[in-house]
A = this chain, B = another copy of it.
Amino acid sequence: MCQLLGMNCNVPTDICFSFSGFQARGGATDVHSDGWGIAFFEDRGCRVFLDPQPSASSPVAELVSRYPIRSMNVIAHIRKATQGSVRLENTHPFMRELWGRYWIFAHNGNLIDFAPALDGSFVPVGNTDSERAFCWLLQSLRQRFGDRRPDDAELFDVLHALTLSIAEHGEFNFLLSNGDCLFAHASTRLSYIVRQAPFAEAHLKDQDLTVDFREVTTENDRVAVIATLPLTDNETWTTMPAGSLWRFADGAALAQRPTRPGPARQPA
């Protein structure tokens, strides 16, 4: 199993604090040592840092944890390989371009017998179930909307149907962003927190590190952080129900829809 970390904000924000705790899980405080990666959107541009080395000992991760890149949408992943060997081409997050925007995708889980027909518009470079799912998602979005870029509500509708279809094949926790908003699917395990005024102190679970957000924010800032497991031990994280797809924009959880049959479940 892998670990996911996402951030969606209403102002460009650096992720150094959260990344420090997350990075420790890649080989130091946890076993996810088969590589890691992080993608930062900066307006329409996107920077992806990848390393097939464990994040806890990666010089690139060391840079990322110290170099404050300000972004409104970030997706990071540390890997414990299930399908696909430990190689750079199998390291998440993956990037493709659709409608003149970059799309970033990272997955935690395991898809069984997921072998959809691909039409050649998006073809996996590596051999993970994750990249295959990402290529099929983008192909399906393009088939559905053609060259017209849909608005976020339309996109959420179609993504919901596609997620239902893939989730039949197994565990499919994912984070997906086009730089405007961030979609998160809690298949089995995902939590989030929204930090906004009044800000307070936060203390990492995985390292003895505290930040006082009052010193680094303004009154209107709002930041959503999404992670496989809560990153801090003195804040209240919301557990996202197993089987729920979310859309985050401007640092808030704007939409949620169940991806499993049964009564609607609310966040704990």
Asked if B44 contacts A89 (CB within 8 A), the reply is yes
A130 CB, min distance to chain B CBs, angstroms: 14
**CB-contacts of A91-146 with B (<8 A):** 91, 95-102, 120-126, 142, 146
Q: Given A125-B102, A147-B120, are A45 and B91 neighbors across the interface (CB < 8 Å)?
A: yes
Asked if A45 contacts B96 (CB within 8 A), the reply is no
A181 CB, min distance to chain B CBs, angstroms: 17
Asked if A100 contacts B121 (CB within 8 A), the reply is no
- Answer whether residue A43 sits at the interface, using C-beta atoms and an 8 A cutoff: yes
- Answer whether residue A42 sits at the interface, using C-beta atoms and an 8 A cutoff: yes
Main DSSP-derived SS at the A contact region: mixed
By size class, the interface of chain A is 35 or more
A97 CB, min distance to chain B CBs, angstroms: 6
Chain B, residue nearest A94 (CB): B97
A163 CB, min distance to chain B CBs, angstroms: 22
Asked if A49 contacts B46 (CB within 8 A), the reply is no
Asked if B45 contacts A48 (CB within 8 A), the reply is no
A107 CB, min distance to chain B CBs, angstroms: 17
Bound state CA distance, A34 and B51, in angstroms? 26
Q: What 0/1 pattern do residues 41 to 73 of A give for CB contact below 8 A with B? A: 011111111111000000110010011000000
Asked if A100 contacts B124 (CB within 8 A), the reply is yes
Q: Given A44-B89, A45-B89, A59-B67, are A123 and B96 neighbors across the interface (CB < 8 Å)?
A: no
Asked if B63 contacts A59 (CB within 8 A), the reply is yes
Chain A residues within 8 Å of B, Cβ to Cβ: 42-52, 59-60, 63, 66-67, 87-91, 95-102, 120-126, 142, 146-147
